[in-house]
Structure 1
């Protein structure tokens, strides 16, 4: 006699499939949030009873009534496409009638070399080291925050950035001037790791089920985060209590204070250091293809936006007032 077990709830199905595909916890939370909002927007109707018109109505509402950014609307669209195509097995037709939020064409904020120095001089400790790495390597904020010990190669003067944007690996330089500070930081980090080992809490999150394939890896020194949290936290997926990487918001706040202390009018953030890295390399004559590889851009057209700094004034044209 068979026992009929109830089918899992829709959001549980979404969560299980996201984890099967090894999406990040951030993506999981964002997708679940957008799917909930979509269902509530349509009076708690089941998504299987809705389709392209309801998706179009919801996305148009975000763009018109909520005035969301283009990236926010695209995130919502990705969540709903995942729900229909991956979870429900329904392939929606092309959503031609969606009113898309217009993506503004803005140039990146770039600091001069003197401005970068003014900001870095006003940052110290771990945050100063991380900010210097962002400017010295061109890493993205979360690439720096998630950096593992084994991916810093002092012998080759390289940093291996794993699973960057687009799930791609790449190599960037390790600035020689940061080697002493980084080695000193890792010595302190090793002491924390040894304490965690004795406390039985040295485990670390590993992506893509690597912890199952290599059961001893989570407590190996090489897999530890370079920049780690000052306290333990509960992993929402495994329930394990362990030390996670540093919260990126702490670095963002530290840089914000430094920008204010340097009396800069520019709205500089940690990502501004990546923009400045690329711009300053271009100013010194570095070829665009090399910069593209260091930044991890898929298309060189994305990297070309930094050439704007080479066109001083009105695209390099001298004003007649200055003749």
Structure 2
């Protein structure tokens, strides 16, 4: 615990040093080295002290990576001289507190709707967890799909936080949505770019895709690089959380193949019927999902939920019938 605290203090110190010392340096290579190396050291140090087979470790590794990506972007590429230290720190740690200004489209969704959606997702999330626990772990398509549903319903955390944020700020600020109806995606680019995991996706878009796109003419190459970095992130999570070295190649291949597929989509000449676009998109996702989520589906201890809340409402969930058929 003390070691992790020191690592987190180290992150704050590195952010401050980047703001005052590294950003003013004229040479981009020197800025890059001085910003990148401490990020690698801090990420590795923090990961070595995280507990295995725990959902908190998944979030911690993701936070380390997203903070590094933001910090490198703001230090090397976007050196806004008028950016205050508080804004710099907030941008670097936005992954921890993903607050955004409330847009007119956000106000179209009443606060009570977020509250009810959060409660419903929470109940479904706990119910799916109980179903997965009584079944033998495996990485079948059916179990991976149910596990993916549990990931989607974990957005109840953001929904409840959104309720409090909008009430406190009187609809001036809200939380960045985690998902935006991913099952309605009619292309892989729509799924990864605008529908699924919008918090991570926003950081990738603003701090990797856009900066690289300003230096490179090929958007396809930039998109593929973004997918490669995302694949490396998920590989690191699999190693740290599950200690599952054999899953390294399939996990990376999942994101690399999806990146290739997104590039191919851009060059498809004819627009397909909407239903066919939807079928092709979700077939590709279904085929590649076990490559990334299979190792997590086999591990019953890594569950996307809040254990304290889940145990508190177990008596409610017990009322709901659990299917006797297990996904195989």
Scaled by the length of structure 2, the TM-score of the pair is 0.24
Higher helix share: 2
Scaled by the length of structure 1, the TM-score of the pair is 0.25
Higher strand share: 1
Higher relative contact order (CA 8 A, sep 6+): 2
